Structure 1
Amino acid sequence: MKPVIAVVMLQVGSAGMDVISKVALNEGMSNYVFVVYRHAVATLLISPFALLLDRSAVPLFFLRTFSSIVFVVTRRPVINQNLYFLGMKYTTATFAAAIVNILPALTFLMAFIIGLEKVRMKSIHSKAKVFGTIATVAGAMVMTLIKGPAFEQDVAAGGGSSATVAESHSFMKGGLMMTVGCFSWAGFVILQAITLKEYPADLSLTALICLAGTIEGGIVALLVEWGRPEAWALGWDTKLLAAVYSGVVCSGLLFYIQGIVMRERGPVFVTAFNPLCMVLVAIMSSIFLDEEMFLGRVIGAAIIVAGLYLVVWGKSVDYDNSSATLQENQPLLEERV
């Protein structure tokens, strides 16, 4: 029962990050600056523990894997994070929580392309992974391209068709950004798993990724926000809360919790609870953000979840047989770092 409670806490914390981040972005926070601040907070939090617990491993492996670490950083903290939160500006927190469920399928697809994942079409589990991948990608396309009628029809329909078309184009743009970000995210997962084989100190690697993400993300933010010093300003407001919450809770506490659960129950167990985050975000967003639910996007989310569970079921055999170590060596919470 304890692992179940722990993984539910994990999803609650992740859902809180999506909602708080969306509020901060709605209040005008730069997504580029937000990425820098959250990784800076995570670096300050994780680094002392990494230096204390992984002290002997750092000098031995750092120089040999430095180029790999830099390459890993460009995929996740820089490309994915900026596209993810920029896409969130154009969409909703619920959409963001739903679209990330395509990650296991994209990771499987990329691992198959580069030869890290084997597919035997005579095996029902391999078929499940293939069809699950197709379903998640199809669901993402449905969510992005098809809006459908709103469930709450009592909202004023002002603005006319031109406003509706503009909103639709904006949503499609945000959805495309998030989808591309998820591809980058999947590449990060694979590269991180490979790097961990050469650099077997996951806490130190996480600290280095956050540090490098702060530096590289800072360069990007300086270029994009050049001449806008107000973009960096923080007060006692939601912007500060979003940066601290995402850095401390999602990159710190939840990372530790997920590591414990994964060692006890495996990555498949953790991944199976991911749709809970989407449900929690949908509930909280309707309360705090007044988000509407649309039929097309609900159908797309349902297709994504169905595809996710097909992939998870197919991968469960890999984990049980210890024949595929890609996800075993990857702390899945770093999807939220």
Structure 2
Amino acid sequence: MVMDSKAMQKLKPCLGVIFLQFGSAGFGIVAKAALNQGSSNYTFSVYRNAIAAALFIPFAFFLERKIRPIMTFSIFWKILLLSLFDPVIGQNMFYAGMKYSSATFASAMCNLIPALTFVLALILRIETVNLKSVRSHAKIIGTLVTVGGAMIMTLIVGPIIGLPWTHKSQDNSGSTNVEDPIKGAIMIGTGCLGYSLFYTLQAITLKSYPAGLSLTAMVCSLGAFLGTIVTFLAERGNTSVWALGWDAKLLAYVYGGVISSGITYYISGVVMNEKGPVFVTSFNPLSMVIVAIMSSFIFAEQMTIGKIGGATVIVIGLYLVIWGKSKDQKEIKLTQQQHESKAETNPYTNDNAKTNLANGLQMISGPDAV
């Protein structure tokens, strides 16, 4: 019984992350269905973030009442930027790109996020690269490979891989959108860049504002508010985009707010606390596979050599980046253990030295994408 209990404890993080990938895949499907039915990408973002804010605010108010830091102008400015990067830029561009592409294509492009985050961390000097280190080579090559995979998916079509259940009328569940892979890739790529900017700034913001639930509630609330302004400007005079009904659009809004912005945040936070962000990120391609299978049934989406080849290249690049990051984490832990061992044998080690080492290690690790 003790062994079974230990095995279950080890298995829980894996089960949690697999659940997240099924949840992410499900959202990709319902989001595509909603967009096919004419949902505006602007109102999609507004409703999703409004629902997420309504979900988070009560928990943040009661659970973080005693640990919530005092709001300063610097922190508020960062929260405002976070609200622009993800809810406004990231989500709007991603949903707009989905209108011109398939659910599988959009899911595969999401694997660019860890590589883009790594590049941003390099630019901001949060991430360091040692050109003599194999792990640094892996991160650089992996980043280039993921970008190459995205280009393959966008520019190369190739023969269609015939699946029996896709040989039907290609109406895409009443889709009113026309596929344009290049336009879709540019929009989704811009959305992924917005997400990467969000993750990079989020890691910085959490250092000065560690109340995660409160931060999420404010980002979602501000995101819904700013998104409403953008929607009124973009959809001038078109009030029909705000209409709600008992259809796929309402399901997508609720699903996105509760699952993608609610439960996903909580579970990923718990797993990251135990296993680290590299562990969570390594499961990302699973969502792409699930979406590809579900889309072929639901939307009769046809697979091509270009899509499969490009997606495979992206996954290879992703795992090169993840491998490099995992080696970074191991080196950081080893350095910490060595310092702690020296500190135990040296009674004169002071707190300032520990603080300086911790700051140095943080600069080495940098923010990780989820």
The TM-score with structure 2 as length reference comes to 0.83
Q: Superposed, which structure 2 residues align to 1:215-294 within 5 Å? A: 215-294=225-304
Q: In the alignment, what sits opposite 1:80? A: 90
The correspondence for 2:215, drawn from 205, 215, 236, is 205
Which residue in the other structure is 1:173 paired with?
183
Superposed CA RMSD in Å reads 1.9
The letter of the residue matching 1:240 is: L
Structure 1 Cα separation of the partners of residues 72 and 61 of structure 2: 13
Partner of 1:89: 99
Matches of 2:313 and 2:23, distance apart in 1: 24
Q: Distance in 2 between matches of 1:65 and 1:181?
A: 24
Compute the displacement of 1:321 (Å).
3.1
**Residue aligning to 1:327:** 367
Q: Within 5 A, what are the aligned runs for 1:87-126? A: 87-126=97-136
Q: SS at 1:192's partner residue?
A: helix
Aligned partner letter, 2:100: Y
The CA deviation at 1:174 is: 0.7
Q: What is the Cα deviation at residue 261 of structure 1?
A: 0.9
1:62 touches 1:199 (CA, 8 Å); kept in 2? no
The 10-residue stretch of structure 1 (262-271 or 63-72) with the greater mean CA deviation from structure 2: 63-72
Tell me by how many angstroms 1:74 deviates.
1.1
Q: Percent identity?
A: 50
Q: Deviations over 1:275-321 (max 9, x none)?
A: 00000000111111111111111111111000000000000022223
2:147 maps to 1:137: yes
Helix, strand or coil: the match of 2:71? helix
Q: Secondary structure at the match of 1:61?
A: coil
Task: Find the partner of 2:54 among 29, 32, 44.
Answer: 44
- CA drift of 1:250 comes to 1.2
The CA deviation at 1:57 is 4.1
- Which residue pairs with 1:304 in the alignment? 314
- Structure 1 distance, partners of 2:82, 2:168, is 46
Answer whether contact 1:139 1:300 (CA < 8 A) is retained: yes
C-alpha distance after superposition, 1:161-213 (max 9, x if no partner): xxxxx967x22101111112212221111111111111111111111110110
CA distance in 2 between partners of 1:72 and 1:242 (Å): 23
For the 8 Å contact 1:40–1:210, the answer to whether it is kept is yes
Q: Which stretch shifts more, 303-312 or 230-239?
A: 230-239
Could you say which residue in structure 2 is the equivalent of 1:163? none
Give 1:150-165 correspondences, 5 Å limit.
Answer: 150-152=160-162, 155=167
- Measure the CA separation in 2 of the matches of 1:32 and 1:123: 44
Q: CA deviation at 1:61?
A: 3.2
How many pairs align?
Answer: 322
Gaps of at least 5 residues in structure 2 are 1-10, 171-176, 333-360
**Aligned-partner Cα distance in 1 for 2:269–2:195:** 19
